[in-house]
Amino acid sequence: MYGKFWGAAALGLALASAGWAEEQAELIGDVNAGAEVFEYCMGCHEVGQGAENGIGPHLNGIFGRTAGTIEGFKYSKGLIREGRLGMTWQLENLDAYLENPKALVSDTRMSFDGLEEPKERADVLAYLRQFSDNPQNIPEAAPTARKHEVELPPEILAIVGDPEYGEYLSTECTTCHQTDGEYDGIPAIIAWAEDDFVVAMHAYKRKIRPHPVMQMMAGRLSDEEIAALAAYFGGLE
Amino acid sequence: MKLNRRAFIGTGAAAAAALSAPHVRAASHGKPRVVVIGGGAGGATAARYIAKDSKGEIDVTLIEPTRMYYTCFFSNLYIGGFRELSSIGHSYGKLASDYGINVVHDWATGVDRDAKTVTLAGGAVLPYDRLILSPGIDFVDGAVPGWDVTAQNKMPHAYKAGSQSELLKAQLEAMPEGGTFAMIAPPNPYRCPPGPYERVSMVAHLLKAKNPTAKILIVDPKPKFSKQGLFEDGWNRHYGGMIERIGPDFGGDKVSVDPDAMTVTIDGAVEKVDVCNVIPAMKAGRICEIAGINEGNWAPVSGHTMQSRVDENIHVLGDATNQGDMPKSGFSANSQAKVAAMAVRGALTGSKVFPAKFSNTCWSLIDTDDGVKVGATYEATDEKIAKVDGFISQVGEDAELRQRTYEESVGWYAGITSDMFG
């Protein structure tokens, strides 16, 4: 049955070892190095046996969990929103979140600048991965192979947006998103770092972020148009 | 000049009209002049964007008869008890004070396309370089036999928000126990395709709480309607047995009313009703007919610029247009206004013009925290505004997503009204 979904090699791997979950975790990064990276997180987050919510929610079972859903923890509106829209934590979006929390969830309360180094993110995710089981252990579930939320080639991030064009394009956004930064049920999008804006829009364009209106709006924007919007909104205060 | 303008806005309609002609001529000396007729989602947005983006290079006058504008969108939520009427009322103060727009509260009664002037009911004659018509809809005479606008107090349409919405809500609240509310739904095309069915949902919500044995009867000339599956699923879940719809297969297209007797006659069968909401067939707001730019009931436009196909100095927005694939909605009008504003600025001041893009999303509320939506993106082709991509809410979505969709619509309302009125 596994073979229906996976190649023979994956099938072999799945059957080869009782410690399969560990092996998958190893594929993500170095668990021991990740334990050290996790020291950045420990001020707010607990993980492992007996872990409880602190300043941040505990991280047991984070893989495969719907965002913003641990009972008894008071989440930001942003995480609750993403959860309602169906975002579950997977390797891709956890990686993006750790790289820059506000680029993925603009109004998260997690005040963490992000881990710039891909290896550090991989390692800490490998470490956290040990404390989650389903669905990542199941071959039919989302693949555990390492993947970025959106792998943007440097040339896309390097595009210099034309703010005048961005201002025109922005008129499509401002029917819903208020330019004074008010939040009334639809997030504010002004004054974002341009790279964050670009990554977020490409994540919608590729349907990695779940919102159907945003997938549709971003879906027809070219790389240049996304850069133009990022330049325009980035300049608003 | 600023002082004049403020004083001018503060005066009564008659005085305003008397002053407006000389004022506009003097103020616009040497500047290109844009006159916008209609201060709704299309007109207010266009006036604001032209004034804002031209940074004083274009003189903008907005003609709107009402001082307090009630949005049609969300007026159903007022009927259902989810909004106060005051929360959907907007004044034009900011457009005047923050954007320098000449806001004139008067009716436009004439358009001279050769002289390029607009005449107001108060007698003023306003010259324009570009005219933007965004008058919304009027009703087709005789569309529902037995009904005309003189009967609108007995059988309200409530399809222009404000006092009509208040009247309908008051009638519903005063309805006898176990009474019947009838809606005569309009044929295509009409303003806000899901609007009548969202209204039925809101009426049902109101009656379920206050008058649970009441009945709702929809008399519909159309075989199918917008978001039908979503509405019917919602009606079953929330208002089981309360709502009956008679489509054209059972005579829904052969209806007449008697407002004095409070009866509705469907294919010869007379029904006594307690409250009757007549939403007749629609046509472009009358000023389009007066300007002579209609073909049939609507004003055809080019999607590239929203220019009338009859007169290139006139742009038409929103419900009044025949443009192609976009539904007649406030969101569409707002989207079209931005394309028109860019085209008008480009023509009058040489500013950059980019390819037209349009979008629309229509949210509807079925019951408390049960919101649905449908939307699409569009582009201009030489023939029409053509749909590119779209989506619609699904039957069976979980309650949290539906709640989130409703909350999103509240956010959209705040967004679009600040986009229109500043």
Position A229 scores a pLDDT of 96
Instruction: Give dist(CA B422, CA B60) in Å, integer.
Output: 15
Kindly provide the residue ranges of all beta strands, DSSP E only, lying in chain A, ordered along the sequence: none
Q: Which of chain A's residues have a Cβ under 8 Å away from the Cβ of B331?
A: 175
Q: Does residue A40 fall inside a structural domain?
A: yes
Residues A52 and A114 occupy one common structural domain: yes
By residue range, what is the domain housing residue A80? 2-129
Residue B359, pLDDT score = 96
**Residue A147 maps to a domain:** no
**B390 Cβ under 8 Å from any chain A Cβ:** yes
Shortest Cα distance, chain B CAs vs residue A224, angstroms: 13
Residue A107 included in any domain: yes
The reply to whether A120 and A175 lie within a common domain is: no
Q: What is the mean pLDDT of chain B?
A: 93
The pLDDT of residue B29 is 59
Task: Considering only CA atoms, give the Rg of chain A.
Answer: 19
| Interval B103-151: pLDDT, tens | 999 999 999 999 999 999 999 999 999 999 999 999 999 999 999 999 9
Q: Which residues of chain A have pLDDT under 50?
A: 1-26, 134-148
- Which one of A66, A106, A176, A211 makes the best mutation probe of the B interface by having the most chain B beta carbons within 10 Å? A176
Same domain, A100 and A181: no
- Per-residue burial over B381-401, b if 16 or more Cβ lie within 10 Å, else e, is eeebbeebebebbeeebeeeb
Contact between A186 and B415 using a beta-carbon 8 Å cutoff: yes
The reply to whether residue A217 touches residue B377, judged by beta carbons under 8 angstroms, is yes
User: What is the helix, strand, coil percentage profile of chain B, to 5?
Assistant: 35, 25, 40
The per-residue pLDDT for range A120-129, each reduced to its tens digit, is 999 999 888 8
Chain A residues lying within 8 Å of B48, measured CB to CB: none
Helix (H) or strand (E) holding B282: strand B282-284
Query: What distance lies between CA A160 and its chain's CA centroid?
Result: 24
Does the beta carbon of A216 lie under 8 angstroms from any beta carbon of chain B?
yes
Number of domains chain A is built from: 2
CB contact under 8 A, B411 and A175: no
Let me know whether A110 and A210 are in one domain: no
Does any CB of chain A come closer than 8 Å to the CB of residue B400?
A: yes
A70 shares its domain with A175:
no
**A209 at the B interface (CB within 8 A)?**
no
Q: Which of residues 31-50 of B touch A (CB under 8 A)?
A: 49
pLDDT tens digit sequence for B316-356: 999 999 999 999 999 999 999 999 999 999 999 999 999 99
Distance CA B364, CA B204 (A): 14
Which residues from A are below 8 Å from B377, CB to CB? 216-217, 219-220
Are A195 and A92 found together in one domain?
no
Task: Indicate if A21 and A118 belong to the same structural domain.
Answer: yes
B374 inside 8 A of chain A by CB: no
Distance CA A97, CA A95 (A): 5
Nearest-angstrom CA–CA distance, B239 and A182: 36
pLDDT at B93: 97
- Residues of chain B with confidence (pLDDT) below 50: 1-28
Distance (Å) from the alpha carbon of A25 to chain B's nearest alpha carbon: 32
Residues of B in contact with A213 (CB under 8 A): 361, 373, 375, 391
pLDDT at position A133 is 60
What pLDDT does residue A60 have? 86
CA dist B73 and B75 (Å) reads 5
pLDDT at B5: 38
Provide the pLDDT for residue A27: 65
* B335 close to A (CB below 8 A): yes
Same domain assignment for residues A166 and A112: no
Which residue from B354, B403, B410 is facing A165, i.e. has the nearest CB?
B354
A106 and A7 inside one domain: yes
Q: What is the pLDDT of residues A194-216, one digit of tens each?
A: 877 888 888 888 887 778 889 89
**Cβ(B406)–Cβ(B372) under 8 Å?**
no
What is the pLDDT, as a whole number, of residue B306? 98
Cα A178 from Cα A126, distance rounded (Å)? 39
State the pLDDT at residue A103: 87
Same domain, yes or no, for A125 and A162? no
B399 shares contact with chain A (CB less than 8 Å): no
Beta-carbon separation of A185 and B361 below 8 A = no
| CA A196 to chain CA centroid, nearest Å | 12
User: CA-nearest residue of chain B to A177?
Assistant: B415
User: Which chain A residues are Cβ-neighbours of B49 within 8 angstroms?
Assistant: 171
Give the C-alpha separation, B416 to A132, whole Å: 43
Chain A interface test: which of B306, B405, B408 (most A C-beta within 10 Å):
B408
Whether A171 and A110 share a structural domain: no
Structural domains of chain B, with CATH: 2-138+283-352 (3.50.50.60), 141-280 (3.50.50.60)
